[in-house]
Structure 1
Amino acid sequence: MDFSSLSEVEIWGLVKSGNQQAFSYIYSTFSKDLYKYGHKFTQDTNLIEDVIQDLFVHIWDLKKNINVKNSIKFYLFACFRRELIKKIKCAYKNESLEEVHSKFKWEASFLEILDENQIILESSNKISQALGQIPLRQKEAIYLRYIQELSYDEISKMMDVQVPSVYNLIFKGLKKLKNILSFTRTSTKFSGLLFLFFQ
């Protein structure tokens, strides 16, 4: 069956009915993104893998009682974020989540945005310099919006803030990036993004 041609509601309906192929499709489609997102909080790959494994086992066990109305990705990311933070707090009792979170280098993810949009930095170190000046919540909001392509409403629910606050986090983060980075070539997509926020 070509699951890519089905809506997420249809795919989830198959999972709820016990279709293992549909469940495997969901795992193969989203597990890598969950793994990447997990690295925004900790470098402990075993912990990340355990949380992902436990999440999917839990979902399969309770599939008949779980209702996914629109986005499977949002549901998975929200559950994963919540469970990972719990595990991190237990594993790193002597450190705050902010301290653990701050150890991750975000460069790879943001370079991915730039590369996909054919944006070339004058200096390879500028992305590190720019990201070092952006608060973690701004970086996470931008990551969720432009790499994982979640909606503002979904991000607000995940990060437990109001939608206007999500706009504000992203606006301030992008403005800071714009002020620090010098682009030698900007794609139409990214130009439109900057125009939207800085016109």
Structure 2
Amino acid sequence: MNILIISVNNELTDFELWQNFLKGDRLALNEIYNRNLSPLYHYGMRMLQDEEVVRDCLHNLFVKLWINQKNLKPTNNIKYYLISALRNTIINYKNAEKRFQKVELNEAETFDLKFSVESEYIKKEEQQEKMLKLSEAMNKLTARQKEVIYLKYYEEMDYDQIAEIMDLTKKGTYKLSARALEALREVLNVDKAILLALLMAWKR
């Protein structure tokens, strides 16, 4: 299936756009693809660090969505739905390749949290230095700690969504996030308010 880059009404809500897609509207599928390709690609690259494989997983994901559209449920948050689906697609790929024994992510796997320090927000030397230190501190986290930080502060998902994506309980997600924040706070030697401010600035 070739996905055409054609735009439809950008004012449609996620729920409306998804409903159009479920009715077999190919333009709606293209719009879903256009709106969500960037976050999906970046998330996939952080899990796999292999551009060709990530693109294959994305292609397979959208083909599967189109084939199974009549069996899919409504959603009012398409990005969350697709990230969850992509995560499962990548895990299935890893299992098929026999790279990993477990279906779920474990501490031995990688989740890349490198990010650019070239945005307008951090052009000042002092701020750039803080963000570089944050990047270095991120590397000391486990793969699952990195993933929960990414989903929470970069993709701005809530704990219920993160719990479902990562196959955790909501309580387990809170604990994982708290441990990750505490580890970052200790490495950076800053209080929690400053750490949260840095994380909020990360996406800008």
Does the pair score TM above 0.5?
yes
Does the CA contact (< 8 Å) of 1:40 and 1:101 recur in 2?
no
Residue 90 of structure 1, CA deviation: 2.6
What is the aligned partner in structure 2 of residue 169 from structure 1?
176
16, 31, 43: which one aligns with 1:10: 16
What is the aligned partner in structure 2 of residue 107 from structure 1?
114
181, 187, 191: which one aligns with 1:180: 187
Question: Counterpart amino acid of 1:101?
Answer: E
74, 78, 81: which one aligns with 1:72: 78
Secondary structure of the residue that 2:109 maps to in structure 1? helix
Secondary structure of the residue that 1:32 maps to in structure 2? helix
Contiguous gaps of at least 5 residues in structure 1: 194-199
Q: Distance in 2 between matches of 1:88 and 1:72?
A: 24
How many correspondences in the alignment?
187
Does the CA contact (< 8 Å) of 1:145 and 1:151 recur in 2?
yes
What is the aligned partner in structure 1 of residue 141 from structure 2?
134
Secondary structure of the residue that 2:47 maps to in structure 1? coil
Relative to structure 1, the CA distance from residue 5 to residue 124 in structure 2 (aligned partners, 3 Å threshold; closer, same or farther) is: closer
1:121-153 Cα shifts (integer Å, max 9, x gaps): 536652343123211111100101111112211
Does the CA contact (< 8 Å) of 2:58 and 2:86 recur in 1?
yes
Does the CA contact (< 8 Å) of 2:47 and 2:112 recur in 1?
no
Q: Distance in 1 between matches of 2:90 and 2:24?
A: 26
Question: Counterpart amino acid of 1:136?
Answer: A
Does the CA contact (< 8 Å) of 1:107 and 1:127 recur in 2?
no
Does the CA contact (< 8 Å) of 1:41 and 1:100 recur in 2?
no
Q: Distance in 2 between matches of 1:160 and 1:94?
A: 17
CA RMSD of aligned residues (A): 3.3
Residue 191 of structure 1, CA deviation: 7.6
Relative to structure 1, the CA distance from residue 112 to residue 71 in structure 2 (aligned partners, 3 Å threshold; closer, same or farther) is: farther
Secondary structure of the residue that 1:67 maps to in structure 2? coil
TM-score, with length taken from structure 1: 0.78
Does the CA contact (< 8 Å) of 2:106 and 2:144 recur in 1?
no
Residue 36 of structure 1, CA deviation: 0.7
Q: Distance in 2 between matches of 1:192 and 1:28?
A: 27
Q: Within 5 Å, give how 1:3-82 maps onto structure 2.
A: 3-82=9-88
Relative to structure 1, the CA distance from residue 91 to residue 122 in structure 2 (aligned partners, 3 Å threshold; closer, same or farther) is: same
167, 172, 197: which one aligns with 1:190: 197
Contiguous gaps of at least 5 residues in structure 2: 1-6
1:94-128 Cα shifts (integer Å, max 9, x gaps): 787658732x541217x599x58x98253665234
